[in-house]
Amino acid sequence: MAKKYYIVAEHLFSVDVNDEMFVQMENYEPFAVENVDSISESDVSFSLSIECGINVEYVEETRQDEEGQIIVCGHTVKNQSTFEFILNGLSMGTLLCSPDYKTATIYLAEETSKGANRFAVNNAIMVLYALATARYGTALFHAAVVTYRERGYLFLGKSGTGKSTHARLWLRYNEGSELLNDDNPVVRFFENGAVAKVYGSPWSGKTPCYKNQEFLIGGFVLLEQAPYNKISRLRGVSAYAALLPSISGKRWDKVIADGLHYTENALASHVPVWYLECLPDEAAAKICCEAIT
């Protein structure tokens, strides 16, 4: 095992990984720390180790099911948080966390493929990242984000709403647009200066896009399919409610819930939030761009 360090949205973390697993983590390479001699362990947000073939017994609390990818949340008899990752009905591994989420171990299922191991480790790091950083004005969004004129714009909505489609329309019809992330960007709010930033991440869904870049946020856009194109500004509680479903987190944990509430409230108060009813066409991309930029 070797300890590898990564920085995502200015949060440092480490993973204990063998060479075989390391070659499967190419999506983390843009975020790798090269000068490890300067690292202080006190600056590490969390550490993950990888083990194999140990069954973790837990009590289920809730589960999330998205297109056959299931995350079962639970706890052990010692009240340690667990997250089991299931793909196509088969367990790929279980994440066991310390109470503060600063240390954790992913126990991979036995006799699984390299692809299955990658799936489990990738999900373990993503879940642990969201939990360990929630108290620091940080949120992992389920969104597609494009950059335009040095600002980042996040497209929100339920799965199948057309976030990726709308992002592609921007790339095609709004000259100068670039894709920053297609599924899981990181957003941070900095109280000092009331600044909100969006960052690329190692997690980008079905579209490989792993950019170690950051931009000030120009706005959030909640999408909804419609037989017409219309955009309007959301404010107050409506803006807060638009952001809420797109942010990952264990909301039945008070510390995490309080951290996410702070971030959501700060973003809704300081960053424009829009509601776009739209068709998947050129006009939608242009109307949206003109209104929010």
Burial 210-242 (b: 16+ CB within 10 A, else e): bbbebbebbbbbbbeeeeebebeebeeeebbeb
Q: Check residue 169 and give its pLDDT.
A: 98
pLDDT at 205: 82
Q: Domain ranges for the chain, please list them.
A: 2-134, 138-292
The amino acid that residue 122 corresponds to is N
- Residue ranges of alpha helices (H) inside 134-253 are 163-173, 237-243
Residue reference for tokens 């909640």: 222
Report pLDDT for 37. 79
Q: Which residues sit opposite 104 in a β-bridge?
A: 48, 97
Query: What pLDDT sits at residue 111?
Result: 64
CATH 3.40.50 matches 138-292: yes
Phi, psi dihedrals of residue 216, rounded to the nearest 5°: -65, 145
pLDDT at 246: 96
**How far is the C-alpha of 146 from the C-alpha of 165, rounded, in Å?**
12
Q: What per-residue confidence (pLDDT) applies to 121?
A: 93
Per-residue pLDDT at 22: 76
- Give me the pLDDT at residue 282, please: 98
> What pLDDT was estimated at residue 183?
92
- What is the pairing mode between strands 44-52 and 103-108? parallel
pLDDT below 70 — which residues of the chain? 111-112, 114
